[in-house]
Amino acid sequence: MSQHLLVTGGCGFIGSNFIRFVLEQRPDWQITNLDSLTYSGNGENLADVADLDQYHFVHGDIRDDELVKQLIEKTDAIIHFAAESHVDRSILDSKPFIESNVLGTQVLLDAARRKEDYRFIHISTDEVYGDLPLDRPDLLFTEDSPICTHSPYSASKAASDLLVGAYHHTFGLNMNITRCSNNFGPYQFPEKVIPLFVTNLIENEKVPLYGDGSNIRDWLHVIDHCEAILAVFEKGTSGEVYNISGNNERSNLELTGAILDAMGKGKDMIRPVEDRLGHDRRYAIDASKIKTQLGWEPTRSAWPQALEQTVQWYITHATWWQRVKTGEYRTYYQKQYG
């Protein structure tokens, strides 16, 4: 059945990849993208689809009750990506995280619950489960793992998850929550580790590795994530949480080595820097529920090919990131890395 989706945060990394993916996969659907264009929102991410009849951009904030009410009235479902998304920025200043991630989600929920059977897909993160020890590779987060947040970012995401659950319980909201591991791929803002390291190396600048590099992340290609979200939207059971991951765990040292190899650079390009405050040690997700219940499988995340393709994308899209790595970005970089 044809759908009109309201996508929030569609000018960011995952949202823009999701919009392009859905326009390709479901060409008879309409998409309205609500984005306030914060520092990480970039209209250029969707330049190739901007003129399509099925795509509509609204420049606005998810905290704007009146605007949100109007947009929800016109649409069948919301895929809610909009958020402040970077852990390091949440350590520098947590206020925007509470404002957008918590209050913004509450505004969307209040409008959505008033429209009968409006579907609400909330895009969350594995970070709400806290972290796992490095010496217990047998442990994985499941959907039943307790919420145990460590950073202001993950606390704000967990607060929004709990609100979504409360609106399901209290008002019968037709919803799902997805909790995904670290994404990589094109159009990622170069504050996150992969595009930061790749673009630094292209500019012959060293890469700032936190602590001893032993922390582990579980990497998934962004299009595999988009496919999982579409599966949850089309086939998910209301009220359920779905974990998403590629079972692709790498230490930061291993990740950095793979990037250096792909770019023909040596270990002398690593600059060890002070560790992130409260740095989560290991994220690792058990994604068997979405695989067995919804039939989703990641097909684009295998390393080293998927990582090398991503490195190549940043090499061939220098104009995109060079425009981003100016102004506010430079101020942030100076503050964060000295």
Dihedral of alpha carbons 207, 320, 219, 310, sign: negative
Q: Between 72 and 87, whose beta carbon lies closer to ligand DAU? A: 87
| Other CB atoms within 10 A of residue 204 CB | 8
- The sheet with strand 182-184 has its strands ordered as 182-184, 216-221, 249-251
| Other CB atoms within 10 A of residue 330 CB | 10
- Choices 55-63, 68-76, 205-213, 270-278; region in contact with ligand NAD by CB under 6 A: 55-63
Among 178, 215, 243, 301, binds ligand DAU (CB under 6 A): 215
Say if strands 249-251 and 216-221 run parallel, antiparallel, or are unpaired: antiparallel
- Choices 3-11, 66-74, 108-116, 322-330; region in contact with ligand NAD by CB under 6 A: 3-11
CA-closest candidate to residue 262, choices 301, 216, 314, 319: 314
Instruction: Tokens for 152, please give them.
Output: 């202001």
Among ligand DAU, ligand NAD, none, partner that 217 touches (CB below 5 to 8 angstroms by kind):
ligand DAU
283 binds ligand NAD (CB under 6 A): no
Among 46, 68, 83, 207, binds ligand NAD (CB under 6 A): 83
Q: Between 176 and 215, whose beta carbon lies closer to ligand DAU? A: 215
Q: Hey, is 56 helix, strand or coil?
A: strand
Which residues are bridge partners to 210 per DSSP? 273
d(CA 336, CA 338): 6
- Of these residues, 126, 161, 249, 280, which one is catalytic? 126
- Kindly state the number of chain residues that form the binding site for ligand DAU, as judged by CB under 6 A: 20
Binding site for ligand DAU (CB under 6 A): 85-88, 125-127, 181-182, 192-193, 196, 208-210, 215, 217, 252, 276, 283
Kindly list the residues in this chain that would bind ligand NAD in the complex (CB under 6 A): 8-9, 11-15, 35-38, 40-41, 61-63, 81-85, 100, 104, 123, 125, 157, 180, 182-183, 189
